[in-house]
Amino acid sequence: MSVLINISDQPISAPELLNDFESRLSSSGGVVSFSGVVRPDGKDTRVLGLFLQSYSPMTENGVEAAVEQALNRWPLEALSVYHRTGKIRTGETIVFVATASRHRRAAFEAADFLMDYLKTEAVFWKKEITETGEVWIEPREQDYQDNQRWQKSETN
Amino acid sequence: MSVLINISDQPISAPELLNDFESRLSSSGGVVSFSGVVRPDGKDTRVLGLFLQSYSPMTENGVEAAVEQALNRWPLEALSVYHRTGKIRTGETIVFVATASRHRRAAFEAADFLMDYLKTEAVFWKKEITETGEVWIEPREQDYQDNQRWQKSETN
Amino acid sequence: MADILYFGRLSDITRKPTESIDLPSDISHARDLRSWAEARFQAAGVFLEPTVRIAVNGEIVDDAHPLANANEIAFMPPVGGG
Amino acid sequence: MADILYFGRLSDITRKPTESIDLPSDISHARDLRSWAEARFQAAGVFLEPTVRIAVNGEIVDDAHPLANANEIAFMPPVGGG
């Protein structure tokens, strides 16, 4: 197993990280990546960027615990989680998750699960920087519903 | 909407294709990629590579129809499907799918759906080239079950 | 002349991926071509398997589909890529 | 001294992300610090919101959790990244 977790203010290049990720694989059949890009359209106005605040080491500990859950639940060969903090401009990548498994369903589900964790439970606070000011954004109801899917299926 | 479909005997570099894919995006929040890598472990023996046979233009027409279904079903901003044919060595990438949407669930589901199509319905025949000979591989039962998930949920 | 295509493991049996034949007069429907190929290649039932489908001019057809010279007729075992 | 941290929108109200205070003698549990912050920053109920959680030394606690000097105490509005 090869796991990388990185939470920092350094820029994220999804293609470069996917390239690094592939170089760590020996026998995986399926590789899934997710990248989240800062969108230009906010609630009411054009978004220039985000500011992401973390709380170390709670943020890191939480991501590690979610990664542990994913590893227990799916047969993964490798896993990467990169998340940016600080100021991130529109069009830049804020998060990158990659999973590898010989079963493609496992790779898809684990990436999906980790993204749901990052969107709803990971210890980050997010501020939108728009043309008209700055506003803190808390998760949408949809994000919580997405995350609850995994709790339901725990009981299967 | 930006759609690319490519079925050819040219090598596939998932990081390069993800880089191209990202450059086609303007406002997507979520980008999902899947790459399928030829595994070294066959049923009984070490796999040196695969030989993929297609039937033009049925193969292309089928992929296009699946792409149309995905576009009708999920709000996607961009979509790529690359599939190799001919001889492909172990460790090389045989298939690459990327989807982009402002909703990450849509990007995940559409990529998953397209992979299920490619594994079970796409017009390819696959031969494993092993140390002890060559053997044609037809889809596993699991692949068919994966694909049927989408038919069930059509009735929702 | 009709072009007959043999895909996947079928070409291991026929030892050729394709051939052009003048359809015999007793072959008028897809099911007849199954029997013809079965007998011709001594195929142990392979050409009669329901999962081996027939395509005519690029469209999957059922066994009752009529055949004619100038058709491109493909025998297709179960498909699947990636 | 205890370090008090205000995350997310709370720092807009407190106008500082963190401060060190000597815990007043009437603050013995997490719920007391909520009332204290509420009064101190005239926060219109924000510090009493159940979705604003309190962490002590990096662990989420409930309102009955005891507080002491030397603790790092964080007020955490709803979280979420990506």
A86-89/A124-130 β-pairing: unpaired
Check which CATH number belongs to the domain holding C24 and give it: 3.10.20.30
Region C63-82: mean pLDDT is 94
The answer to whether D45 contacts chain A (CB < 8 Å) is no
Asked whether residue A155 carries a pLDDT value surpassing 50, the answer given is no
Given the cut 0.85, state whether the ipTM is greater than it: yes
Query: pLDDT (tens digit, 9 = 90+) per residue, D37-49?
Result: 999 999 999 999 9
* A38 touches A89 (CB < 8 A): yes
Is D82 a member of any domain? Answer: no
Please give the average per-residue pLDDT across D57-67, as a whole number: 97
Domain range summary for chain B, segments of one domain joined by +:
2-150
Enumerate residue ranges in chain B where pLDDT < 70: 42-43, 141-142, 144, 152-156
Quick check: C8 pLDDT over 60?
yes
Q: Do B124 and C81 touch (CB under 8 A)?
A: yes
Contacts with A28 (C-beta within 8 Å, 6 or more apart), sequence order? A77, A78, A100, A101, A102, A107, B37, B39
How far apart (Å, rounded) are the C-alpha atoms in residues A24 and A21? 5
State the pTM of this model. Answer: 0.92
Q: Span C29-47, mean pLDDT?
A: 97
- D61 burial class (0-12, 13-18, 19+ CB within 10 angstroms)? middle
Mean pLDDT for A100-125 is 96
> Is the Cβ–Cβ distance between D45 and D71 less than 8 Å?
no
Query: What is the span of the domain harbouring residue D18?
Result: 2-76
Asked if B19 and A22 come within 8 Å (Cβ–Cβ), the reply is no
Partner-chain contact A37 B16, CB within 8 Å: no
* Residue C82 pLDDT > 70: yes
Could you tell me how many CB contacts below 8 A there are between chain B and chain C? Answer: 62
Right CATH for A2-150 from 3.60.21.10, 3.30.465.10, 3.10.20.440, 3.90.1170.40: 3.90.1170.40
- Short-list B34, B30, B35, B118, CA closest to B74: B30
Looking at the domain assignment, is residue D81 inside a domain? no
Q: Is B28 on the interface with A (CB under 8 A)?
A: yes
Q: Which residues of A touch D57 (CB under 8 A)?
A: none
* Residues on A contacting D at a C-beta cutoff of 8 Å: 36, 52-53, 55, 57-58, 61, 83, 94-95, 115, 118-127, 136, 138-139, 143
Cβ contacts of B94 on chain C, cutoff 8 Å:
81-82
**pLDDT, position A65:** 97
